[in-house]
Structure 1
Amino acid sequence: MARVRVKVRLKDMRSRVRRLGAVIAGAALVIVGGGFAASVARDVPPVPFVEHPVIRPTASPSNKPDLRPQGPPCRARDLESLWPEGGSTIVDTERADTLGLAVLVRNVGPVPCTLDGHPRAQGVDRMGKPIGPAAQAGKYLPNAGRDNGYATIEPGEPAKFILSIGSAGCGGQPIRYQGADLVLSNGFRFTIKNAWLTGSCPLKASAWEPVTSAAGQYWALEARLEAPSSVEAGGELVYSVELLNVTEATVSLNPCPVYTQVLAPEQRFDLDELAGLYHSTHRLNCTTPTIGPRGAIRYEMKLPVPQAFPTGKTLLHWMAESSPRPFGTVELTVN
């Protein structure tokens, strides 16, 4: 059987921190498919930091069953495209002409819902003009993507399908696609850009599947970090984390989340390397038991910086434990 090299960034919990380096705190609003998750007004003080250290959980997060029960169909208004997240190229190592991309969509509605069938896809050129035939249902990569099935996803949780192409057995000149227009069975439409696939055969769209089997209580939350541009070695870093609910669901903070904050001079690292990096784990100061639909709460954070910490550009990472989300990162300088 052909071996397939898969580079999907939402693969598992270990890959979560590796991609934080590309997620830099930015705009004051998070735009989602159904509207906005409002940022907290800056004249509202954050929930104060409380020193509540805990031992970092070492057990792997619990997993959901491979095949979850079907729920109500996902509505178009309850979906959001996450492209280019997850869009790393999938390569068949034994056939260089067989490529694929993972395309992610998440549920921003109030309840779990199910995506089924095969998305309709039309490849486009760099100007967005349709080229080549419409995509077929199916897949080229033997170990990536499903031939059939469905994905039931929680509020905030993503599902994926694989858009792939090949050339074996097809005549004519290869077509170079630079994106695709996509339509789901519920009418949800979106376009992926800078999605390069080249081949002589038609594109194929696989069936839906969950991105991960990891169970998570906080799928619906995103973390937005605000930190000073610099901090002195030997001093205390004071910053804030804003937790934004990007869905129409209410998120329970009971039990109160445990989080880990990390200072890392490297641009990339795995959770396996965390023991060798400066980090601390605490329980959040939960002054309210929930975050309402499209709501947000800002929390004060504190992290003492060791005197011997390397000076220069540094990444501050923040992540909830025992849940794939939320996580966030921001760059600062240690003097």
Structure 2
Amino acid sequence: MTVEERLRRTLADEVLVLPAWPDPMGRVSAGITRRRRLRRLFGAVSTAVLAVLTAGVWTAVVAPAGPRPAPSPSAATVPWKDSPIGAVDLFPPPSPRPSARPCGAADLATSVNVTDNGAAGGHRFIDVKIRNTSGSRCTLSGSAQLTATDARTGARGHLTTRSGTGYGGTGYETPATIDPDEEATLGLVTGNGCNGGANPTTYRDIAVVMLGRSYPLGTLTVQTTCELEVTDWMLDIQAHPLTPPPYARLVPTLDVPATVTIGQWFDFTVTLTNPTEAAVAVVPCPAYRMTVFKGGGSYWLNCPGMPVPAHGAVRFAMRLQVAGSTPPGLVHLQWQLLDQPGVSPVADAVLTATT
């Protein structure tokens, strides 16, 4: 066998395919939490669920694509049916927050908070946040000016800036309509791609100027070869969700078998507990994802319209096939309710896979 033939055979071997991330958005969000870029998650819900309903208990039976065994007959369950949904956007963008009266200087804090979000692609990203200290909602529109001192010459004055495009995406909304105690965000972006990266300018004693006030940025010092980019004032949707995550309060726990057989189906249950004082209505019916090694996928949870009661719980039956390529030994099972990006309740368990 030639080297080329061996390479082609190796690349075509499904056993060597890396498992998909169980929670792509969660992992990406964790890596760029402070960057707040592209918060939308596109999930593929390739199969659907039919619920199994008992008195006071919700049950749902799910199975990945391919041959699916029927549940064992039982008076306590109802047959499920295959009802594929196809590709959908699990997290559609929220409707924009309606604008309110313009924010005045008296509505805002007298100081700002500064967060250095680090550098990427030759740019450095800095958040400047100002809080609404008034008793009502207001809208902070437009951008702001910067004043600073050139560290090399000692000269101080207004900086020439350009409109910022390094932020944006679905993680922010412009203008910033902020409720009491919420913050508006101004993004500053440096660049080192001008003049071949040579002779950068260092600025210190930087201040944001707007509404007749100057807001010092503390000890922040920036170095750039390009004009600084300054965004408009934005609302950080992840920090201030336009629609509160409906299921973030629910706590999932798993009841799983200690041992599962490779290539075979196994049953387990997920209990969603509500530790709060108010019932949680499961409307709209959410999706969830379950994975064990290479098996699993995303599915709709079966919701007969009953809420999860305060200090109560609802139990769901699950069914999953262990992929034939699963190696013997300890394997990780993850079950995740797909709420808004970054706010998805997760439960984990460890199983032993045997042949």
TM range (shorter): 0.3 to 0.5
By relative contact order (CA 8 Å, sep 6+), the higher-ranking structure is 1
Q: Which has the larger radius of gyration?
A: 2
- TM-score normalized by the length of structure 2: 0.43
